[in-house]
Amino acid sequence: MMTPESLRILLVEDDVAFSAALMDSFAIAELEVELHADGQSALSSITASPPAVVITDVRMPRLDGNDLLDAVQAVDPEVPVIMMTGHGDIAMAVSALKRGAYDFIEKPFVTEYLIASVRRALETRRLVLENRRLRQMAAENEGHFPLLGQTAVMTRVRDTVRQVAGADVDVLLEGETGTGKELVAHLLHRWSRRQRRSFVTIDCAALPEGQADELLFGGRIRRGRLAEAHRGTLFLDGVEHLSPTLQGRLLRAIEEREVVSPSGETTVLDVRVVASATQDVQRAVAEGRLRADFVYRLGTVKIHLPPLRERRADVGLLFSYFLDEASRQHGVPRPAIGAEVEARLLTDDWPGNVRELRNFATQLALGLVRDPIAAAQGLGLSEQMDIFEAGVLRKMLEQCDGDAGRAADALHLPRRSLYARLQKHGIVPRSYRGRE
C-alpha cells in the first residue's frame, strides 16, 4: 500500500483566484493537494520527498512548468506531471508529452477532466511504487520469487530463513497447503554453502507402496534418493505420510549420516535435511502417525508459515506480483482490477493460500474471471462504490452461509443498516445458504 506521504499531490499555479477555485474542487473530490505559488518552492518540496503527482501551470515567473518538468524527472522520472496552460498550442503539447509529461490540459477546461486525470495519475504512481517494492524484494532474493509480504509475521519468516540458511542445521517447515513450504526449502538450499550441490525432493505422499524402501535407500541396481542428495539438501515433503517403518529407517540414516542399502552396502551421507508437514505435527505425534524421536531429530529449527487469512495485508501485494507475472508469461496486457475482484481480495479467506491466489491472478490475466471493470469505466464514483459494496456483501454472505446476523457482525454493521444495504442491491441472504 502507498503511504500517505507517497500520495501527495502538488499543485503549482501562480494565479491566486484560479488556484483557489481548483483547491475547492479538489476538496470536494476528497483529494488532498499541496499548493505552491511558484515552481521554485514546489521544487524544494519535490527534492525533499517525491510526490505522487505534480500539476503545474506552464507559464510562471522564475521557474516555469517546462523547467519544473525537467527538475521533477531529474528527481524521479516516474512521477506523473500534468501540465496546464492558457497559451498552449499543439506544438507545445506534443513537446511536453515527448519529454515525459503525463497529460497536457489547455485552459479553460472542465475541472472534472483534471480530477479524472489526477486519479489516473495516482493509480499509475501506485503501480510504479508497488512494482519498485516487488523488484527490490526480488533483488534481495537474488532474482527468484521472493517470500513476499510486509506484515510483521512474514518479515520474521524471511529473517529466520536467511539466518538459518547458512547454519547448515536440519529444518522442519510447518504450514497449510499452499503457504510456500517448498519455496522456503529451495531458499534454504540456495542461500547455503550447499547451493552448488543437488537439491533432492522426496514427495512422501507419492512414494509407491512396496518400492519406497528401494527408492529411498537404493538397491542392487539403482542408487537411492538419499545417496543422490550427498553434499546437498534433501527435502522431505509431507513427512506425515511416511510409514512408521520408513520414519525409523530415515531417522537412523539422518542420525548416523550413512545409508545402508538392502544389499548391506554402506554409503556415507553428508546431507542437510529440510522436512515439511501440512498437518499439525504435535497432533500427528499424539495420534501415533509421526514418531516423536523422528520429529525431534528433524526439528532442530522449526519455521511456521502462516496462512493468508493471518496476513491479509499481504494479499494485495502478492496478487499484484502474480498478475504481473502471469501477464508477462502469457504475453497479455495486465488487466484492470475491478470492484468484484477487489472485494474478493479483501474478504476471501483463501483456503488454498498463496497457490490459490496465484491461480486466481493467472485466471484473471487470461480473461477467465468475469469482472465488471469494463462496465464500470465511465460510471460516477457513487455507482462504482455501489458495485464494490455489493461485491463485499455477496462475498460475506457466502462465507456466513446466508446468515445475515453473522454477516452484520463480521462487517461491524448494525443489522438494520445491513438489511437496508441488501435491499438496495436486491440481495437475498437465503439464496446464499448451503454454499459453504
Could you give the 3-state DSSP secondary structure of residue 173? strand
Give the largest Cα separation in the chain, rounded: 94
CA 160 to chain centre: 20
Question: Is 258 in contact with 251 (CB distance < 8 Å)?
Answer: no
Do residues 271 and 379 both lie within one domain? no
Do residues 337 and 398 both lie within one domain? yes
Q: Which of 306, 335, 367 is the last residue of a domain?
A: 306
pLDDT for the residue 186: 92
Q: Please give the single-letter amino acid code of residue 280.
A: D
Q: Is residue 143 part of a domain?
A: no
Q: For residue 99, give the DSSP letter.
A: T
Q: Which position has the higher pLDDT, 302 or 131?
A: 302
Q: How far apart are CA 205 and CA 194, in angstroms?
A: 26
Q: Which of 268, 291, 306 is the last residue of a domain?
A: 306
Q: How far apart are CA 200 and CA 195, in angstroms?
A: 12
Do residues 117 and 243 both lie within one domain? no
Q: Is residue 144 part of a domain?
A: no
Do residues 181 and 76 both lie within one domain? no
Cα 132 to Cα 70, 128, 321, 369, 374: the distances in Å are 22, 6, 11, 27, 27
The CA R_g of the chain, rounded to the nearest whole Å, is: 29
Question: Is 259 in contact with 217 (CB distance < 8 Å)?
Answer: yes
Do residues 267 and 321 both lie within one domain? no
**CATH code (residue 28):** 3.40.50.2300
Question: Whose CA is closest to 242, among 189, 283, 295?
Answer: 295
Do residues 329 and 370 both lie within one domain? yes
Question: Whose CA is closest to 72, among 62, 63, 60?
Answer: 63
Of 85-94, 263-272, 278-287, the range with the lowest mean pLDDT is 85-94
**CATH code (residue 157):** 3.40.50.300
Q: Which of 113, 137, 161 is the last residue of a domain?
A: 137
Q: How does pLDDT run across 157-203, given as a tens digit for each residue?
A: 988 998 999 998 999 999 999 999 999 999 999 889 999 999 999 99
Read off the C-alpha cell for 50: 517525491
In the β-sheet with 171-174, what is the strand arrangement from edge to edge?
199-203, 233-237, 272-277, 171-174, 301-304
HEC letters along 127-139: HHHHHHHHHHHHH
Do residues 156 and 302 both lie within one domain? yes
Q: Which domain holds residue 352?
A: 312-432
Q: Is residue 103 part of a domain?
A: yes
How many structural domains are present in the chain? 3
Q: Is residue 87 part of a domain?
A: yes
pLDDT greater than 80 at residue 131: no
CA 392 to chain centre: 20
Question: Is 242 in contact with 204 (CB distance < 8 Å)?
Answer: yes
Q: How far apart are CA 377 and CA 366, in angstroms?
A: 20
Do residues 88 and 168 both lie within one domain? no
Global pTM reads 0.60
pLDDT greater than 60 at residue 378: no
pLDDT greater than 90 at residue 126: no
Do residues 160 and 298 both lie within one domain? yes
- In this prediction, residues 232-260 reach a mean pLDDT of 90
Residue 194, CB-side half-sphere exposure with 13 Å CA sphere? 25
pLDDT for the residue 1: 37
